[in-house]
Amino acid sequence: MPPISVERCYAEIEASTATLAGLMDGADLTRPVPTCPDWTLRQMATHVGRAHRWAAEITATRSAEMIPFRQVPDGRIPDDPAQHAPWLRAGAARLVAAVREADGDLVWTFGGLRPATFWARRMAHETAVHRADAELAAGREPALAADLAADGIDEWLGFLSAGSPFGGEDGLLGVLPEGGVLHVHATDEGLDGAGEWLVRRAGSEIVVEHGHGRGDVAVRGPAARLLFVLVRRVPPDDPQVQVLGDAGLLSRWLDSTPF
């Protein structure tokens, strides 16, 4: 499926950041984030704000090499609680402005040099998932538009099929047997055929294709819920999700893809 528009990505970065900033207001920053083991709310918020500044620095400087994450200027959340929300929003604004200005210029990404707009899509989904983490920690039910969630699934599966660190015989190749297929099916109306994926092992590669077909295991439900399952924010036995076939295969897949 074609990625969602870059303007939609900018809007999602800013909207999810605003929601996260609102949840930070008056919150206990030592509260654990259940969906991010070993992280407190403060650590997660710091990660989001630093990630925005990191991607902004890469794009603003047109860097052809990775910039160390912890060397990004202004990457530490302020001590003053009154500055937490402004700091988060400022990072999102800096990122959006940097990517807008760089546009199609080539910069470093996880898969080599790509147009700077890569970071709009990557950070839109990064921010949306961590915003959901904060909402779940606060006892709120996160929501995500179906087309945005479907694009998040597409990006995540594409990452897993493109030589990700989760590959190899001890990772995903060891989970899917030769010819084995995982079928992901988003049931939302309006996705126009872009809501189904077939993930298969072909030799030493994980291949992702769009389309309908039989799988060793199929997982189906609303796109937002499927995304949260695939990135391990909600369990596969979530009431909104249906698992058909080899549920153990899905569990092993999820165990091999921490996010």
pLDDT digits (tens, 9 = 90+) for 193-224: 789 999 998 888 889 999 888 899 999 999 99
End-to-end CA separation in angstroms for the chain: 22
* Among 102, 101, 127, 105, residue whose Cα is nearest residue 114: 105
Instruction: Please name the residue ranges forming H helices in the chain.
Output: 6-24, 41-60, 84-102, 118-137, 146-161, 172-175, 223-230, 247-255
pLDDT digits (tens, 9 = 90+) for 115-142: 999 999 999 999 999 999 999 999 999 9
Put simply, whether the predicted model's pTM sits higher than 0.85 gets the answer: yes
What is the percentage of the chain residues whose pLDDT exceeds 70?
95
Structure tokens at 124: 């839109």
